[in-house]
Amino acid sequence: MSEPLIIWAVSDGRSGIENQVVGLAEAVARLSPKLLQRPARVVVKRIAWKGRYGRLPTLLKLFPSRMLDPGSNPIKPPWPDVWIAAGRATLPLSMRMRRWSKKKSLVVQIQDPRLPPGLFDLVLPPQHDRVTGDNVVSLIGSPHKITPERLKTEWSRFAGTLKPLSPPYAAVLIGGKSSAFDLTPARAASLSREIELGLEEAGASLLMTFSRRTPATAKAILTSRLSGRPGWIWDGMGDNPYFAFLAAADWILVTEDSINMAAEAASTGKPVFILKLDGESIRIRRFQEALEAMGAARPFGGGLHSWSYTPLNETDRVAREVLARLSARAG
């Protein structure tokens, strides 16, 4: 094999954004030896901007290489073979990377950059954003780090805590407040009752985790009202069992605000139920309709039942697209 393919996974370090770039970078690295006959190495880069520079609109962020916060990972030569970035913070760098690298780097931007797609080599927006272009490849949901191998490893790592719990298992993934949705105390109370009834009917153990967006009051209500059920409510302390919960689950319930969590849940092939919150979003509704159309998800109606479908594997699909474009560039 030739020299390793160097892949930079660039974000502002927020977990939801970083999981997307790292997940795609890992998929490209995993497939590269087979498709390009090249090993690959992923380098994670986290960036931030100095002072008020980060508040400027993207197109007014001039000379971005000089304005990175000293705590950022360095963005300087030697440039990578593949630059994978996501999030508004990365755009001033992404849109200049082709020039800086003299087109050595294949520049991949995840999500809708809300800029002309031609500024990048490949744009990977979610399908529900309806972005089009010659170098645009849409995907259902978002890239992520989940693979069957990772789920198996994480199950083994937490087996000592999970095995004593009585199957079947229902993983409940709680998001919270966003620009379109909210998890109010009243909704948290009614949601806890809906979940409890479903668990009771199915005789299921609860595996529940919260996101950083879950309001403290809602988290306290859900924890208090469901703590009497058999299972494990992760309190945020110690190692995160999120992947182990997905691996163990017979059913997965996820609040409707999170595209990332729903896409990750659908990648397992387990039945996915969508939990209603206060609020509405046409974009997210289009995403949910796509999951429903492929048979992965259904609205939660209070009962836990099972069905089968082909697991969502968009991360590998777009990783193959990245490698195909890299191969075409090499001639």
| Residue 258, in any domain of the structure | yes
Q: What is the pLDDT of residue 1?
A: 53
**Domain shared by 153 and 74, yes or no:** no
**Domain shared by 207 and 269, yes or no:** yes
| Residue 202, in any domain of the structure | yes
Low-confidence ranges of the chain (pLDDT < 70): 1
- The residue range of the domain holding 172 is 148-299
Length of the chain, in residues: 331
Q: 313: helix, coil or strand?
A: coil
- 107: tokens are 């520049």
**Domain shared by 106 and 196, yes or no:** no
Q: Could you tell me the pTM of the whole model?
A: 0.94
**Domain shared by 136 and 152, yes or no:** no
Q: Residue 38 — φ and ψ, nearest 5°?
A: -130, 130
Q: 321: helix, coil or strand?
A: helix
The count of structural domains within the chain is 2
**Domain shared by 173 and 277, yes or no:** yes
**Domain shared by 112 and 182, yes or no:** no
**Domain shared by 293 and 325, yes or no:** no
| Residue 304, in any domain of the structure | no
What contacts 268, CB < 8 A, 6 or more positions away?
A: 146, 151, 246, 247, 249, 252, 311
| Residue 71, in any domain of the structure | yes
Q: Which residues of 18-29 are buried (b: 16+ CB within 10 A; e: fewer)?
A: bbbbbbbbbbbb
**Domain shared by 152 and 292, yes or no:** yes
**Domain shared by 108 and 12, yes or no:** yes
Q: What is the pLDDT of residue 208?
A: 98
What is the distance between the alpha carbons of residues 76 and 67, in angstroms, rounded to a whole number? Answer: 13
**Domain shared by 120 and 230, yes or no:** no
| Residue 305, in any domain of the structure | no
| 8 A C-beta contact, residue 68 and residue 50 | yes
Q: What is the pLDDT of residue 2?
A: 79
Q: Which residues of 98-113 are buried (b: 16+ CB within 10 A; e: fewer)?
A: bebbeeebbbbbbbbb
What contacts 138, CB < 8 A, 6 or more positions away?
A: 124, 125, 126, 127, 129, 131
- CATH number, domain at 321? 3.40.50
Q: What is the pLDDT of residue 330?
A: 80
Rounded alpha-carbon distances, angstroms, from residue 168 to 71, 165, 274: 45, 9, 19
Beta bridge partners of 136: 123
**Domain shared by 155 and 279, yes or no:** yes
